[in-house]
Amino acid sequence: MTQQAGHRAIVVSDVLLYRDGVAAGLARAGAFAPICVAGSTDVLDVFADNEPDVVFLDMTRPTALALSRTLVPMLDGIPIIGFGVGSHDEALACAEAGISAFVGADGTIDDLAQAALLALQGQAVLSPTLAALLVQRIAALSDSHSPPNATLTRREQEIACLIDHGLSNKEIAGSLKISPATVKNHVHTILEKLNVSRRNAIGRSLGFNRREDLRRSSLHGPNPRLPAQSESGAPGRPQELFLG
Q: pLDDT tens-digit profile of 34-92?
A: 999 999 999 999 999 998 999 999 999 989 999 999 999 988 889 999 999 988 888 88
pLDDT at 240 over 60: no
Contact 138, 92 (CB under 8 A): no
**In percent, how much of the chain has pLDDT > 70?**
77
C-alpha distances out from residue 112 to 8, 91, 117, 152, 164, Å: 15, 14, 9, 48, 53
Tell me the pLDDT tens digit for each residue of 217-230.
344 444 444 444 44
pLDDT score at 87 = 85
Mean pLDDT across the chain, nearest whole number? 80
pLDDT score at 133 = 76
Listed ranges 75-89, 120-134, 145-159, 202-216; the one with the highest mean pLDDT:
75-89
Q: pTM higher than 0.85 for the full model?
A: no
Select the more confidently predicted residue: 149 or 129.
129
pLDDT score at 238 = 40
pLDDT score at 206 = 78
pLDDT at 234 over 60: no
